[in-house]
Amino acid sequence: MRAPKHVLVIGSGLAGINAALLASDFADVTLISKSSLEQTNTQRAQGGIAAAITLLDDPEIHAADTIRAGAGLCDPLAVATLTSEARAAIDRLVGLGVQFDQRTDGHPALATEGAHSIPRVLHAGGDQTGLHIQSALIQRLEEARVNVRTGLTVADLAIDAGRCVGAVTDKHETLLADAVLLATGGAGALYRTTTNPANATADGLGLAARAGAVLRDPEFVQFHPTALVGDDSAFLISEALRGEGAVLLDANRNRFMPAVHPDAELAPRSVVARAITESMRAHDSDHVWLDISHLDADYLQQRFPGVYRGALERGHDITGGPIPVAPAAHYHMGGVYTDVDGRTTVRGLYAAGECASTGAHGANRVASNSLLEAAVFSARAVNAIRNHSAPADQPTGVVRSLRLHPHCSAPTFKSLRAAMNQHVGITRDAHGLKSVLSQFDEWSGTSSSDPSLALATLSARLITEAALQRTESRGSHIRLDYPDVDPAWQRSSLWQLARE
Ligand SMILES: Cc1cc2nc3c(=O)[nH]c(=O)nc-3n(C[C@H](O)[C@H](O)[C@H](O)COP(=O)(O)OP(=O)(O)OC[C@H]3O[C@@H](n4cnc5c(N)ncnc54)[C@H](O)[C@@H]3O)c2cc1C
């Protein structure tokens, strides 16, 4: 069969550029990004990328760690694919020009992060892994035969007889393609306090929903335990600091994590974020403290140059004493349902990276597995595109159909973010979730000239509906009115917009 001629990639992070480069071997590729090429979650990644590459490690151990943290919702096939293809993904990144940090003996320097039982996190530039990956990708993109369009927002997908045939931009331009890959990144900027850039507004979820694709587990939003307290654009203090021995202290400067979990500060993120929230509530404080100042100052500056400088610019010195931190919206485990080949349930439509839900992270993502997911599954999606694959099989389980107006909009991002922060954040309950849903109902007569705001409103609504529906606490989804894990809920939630 002839390979497709035109491929449209939406997004310029690791998933998007990696896919565009691979697809340019056999097709005319257009890559669209709504901002500059660099304004991505990828660029901000600090800690690194996980891969079992030493003799002491094994993809099966990496898979077991991932599944343990995923709170019963990981898809074993997706996890096995992720971990077994990790070495090849690292080799590809090195081939594209990413220089991972090395020890003095020339072997890769590997860090430990929460829920990894073995040091397996490769990093670059100390704590500037994302910056190094993004720069290498952009350099290769400049050399490749890819039509790059920045400052252009995809407002809708073009669907013809159930098949995705392209996309419509905010400039009312229709771009036709044989295959479209969503690589639109995360959902953090649906919240007021987030580590993500302002353009991370879950557009991919909304676009896929409108196209009739099945979505999975939108309620699972990860809040990173340790973002610097200061402004709403929360500067991330990488988990790798806790990997190097940083401890969390409550308002009275007492360490509290050892009493919460055997792995203390390196417990899964949802456990640490919840413990921090409870400590803040108990002490009526907007932060706890993170202290790594017992380590040598020169070592800290060299191992964490980005965090050191970023914190200093905001008035805090990690080498001088504890710094104030609190959880912030960080990563979306839920997303557009795909199989392990990046296929959605809509013909011609693929998704990879943070906007996709492969099932690899379950209810709680392990640190440094998401860059890996973006690298592994974007490559697999391109293979599927090349082979003109059929859409993904319908997932097993009940798909809940939602009748929503797909184009209504919050009046402003500010009002949307305030509602999400207040009631759909790290802890939720029915009362708060229902109040946000009433707010959405009030907004249903409003439409916006900003296509991203309309997509963000739809995505936020899907997250809220799913959070109300899941009447238990699991992984990153913590219901104050249903505090326990309910074995009956050990399944993904699947969603689809009802046809008009
Ligand atoms: C502060 C921070 C630190 C992190 N640290 C790590 C780490 O150490 N290790 C790790 O594994 N993960 C880390 N993550 C997570 C990881 O960086 C992301 O999950 C991953 O980079 C996502 O890549 P992506 O290609 O899917 O999306 P992104 O890199 O976010 O790219 C999304 C792209 O989509 C474009 N886009 C969105 N909507 C539209 C639209 N409607 N039209 C056109 N373009 C659109 C955007 O402009 C952007 O180019 C971190 C995240 C953050 C925020």
CATH value at residue 99: 3.50.50.60
The tens digit of pLDDT for each residue in 1-22 reads 677 899 999 999 999 999 999 9
Q: Indicate if ligand 1 lies below 6 Å from the C-beta of 310.
A: no
Q: At what angle do helices 430-443 and 413-423 cross, to 10 degrees?
A: 160
Is pLDDT at 114 greater than 90 in this prediction?
no
- Is residue 500 very low, low, confident or very high in pLDDT (cuts 50, 70, 90)? low
pLDDT of residue 267: 87
Q: For residue 255, how far is its CA from the centre of ligand 1 (angstroms)? A: 33
Q: How far apart are CA 388 and CA 371, in angstroms?
A: 26
Q: Do 250 and 321 fall into the same domain? A: yes
pLDDT of residue 101: 97
Tell me the mean pLDDT in the region 219-238: 90
Residue at which a domain ends, from 339, 356, 386:
386
Residue at which a domain ends, from 288, 312, 329:
329
Query: In this structure, which residue's CA is closest to atom 8 in ligand 1?
Result: 47
Its domain, for residue 275, covers 224-329
Is pLDDT at 388 greater than 70 in this prediction?
yes
The tens digit of pLDDT for each residue in 316-339 reads 999 999 999 999 999 999 999 999
Q: Do 303 and 162 fall into the same domain? A: no
Q: Do 67 and 127 fall into the same domain? A: yes
Is pLDDT at 36 greater than 90 in this prediction?
yes
The tens digit of pLDDT for each residue in 240-261 reads 899 899 999 999 999 999 999 9
Q: Would residue 181 count as lying in a domain?
A: yes
Q: Do 294 and 356 fall into the same domain? A: no
Q: Indicate if ligand 1 lies below 6 Å from the C-beta of 33.
A: yes
Q: Would residue 454 count as lying in a domain?
A: no
Q: Do 10 and 146 fall into the same domain? A: yes
Nearest to 121 by CA among 330, 366, 298: 366
Q: Do 353 and 364 fall into the same domain? A: yes
Q: Do 143 and 79 fall into the same domain? A: yes
Q: Would residue 443 count as lying in a domain?
A: no
Is pLDDT at 439 greater than 80 in this prediction?
yes
What percent of the chain is predicted at pLDDT more than 90? 90
User: How many domains, the chain?
Assistant: 2
Is pLDDT at 230 greater than 90 in this prediction?
no
The tens digit of pLDDT for each residue in 274-320 reads 899 999 999 999 999 999 999 999 999 999 999 999 999 999 999 99
Q: Do 299 and 350 fall into the same domain? A: no
Q: Which residues pair with 182 in a beta bridge?
A: 10, 351
Is pLDDT at 145 greater than 80 in this prediction?
yes
Is pLDDT at 499 greater than 90 in this prediction?
no
Q: Do 175 and 320 fall into the same domain? A: no
Q: Would residue 240 count as lying in a domain?
A: yes
Q: For residue 162, how far is its CA from the centre of ligand 1 (angstroms)? A: 28
pLDDT of residue 434: 98
Q: Do 35 and 117 fall into the same domain? A: yes
Q: Would residue 212 count as lying in a domain?
A: no
The CATH number of the domain holding residue 248 is: 3.90.700.10
Is pLDDT at 444 greater than 90 in this prediction?
no
Of 17, 40, 476, the one to substitute when testing ligand 1's pocket (max ligand atoms within 8 A of C-beta) is: 40
pLDDT of residue 3: 79
The tens digit of pLDDT for each residue in 170-203 reads 999 999 999 999 999 999 999 999 999 999 999 9
Q: Would residue 100 count as lying in a domain?
A: yes
Q: Do 233 and 113 fall into the same domain? A: no
Residue at which a domain ends, from 341, 360, 386:
386
Tell me the mean pLDDT in the region 131-147: 98
Q: Do 17 and 163 fall into the same domain? A: yes
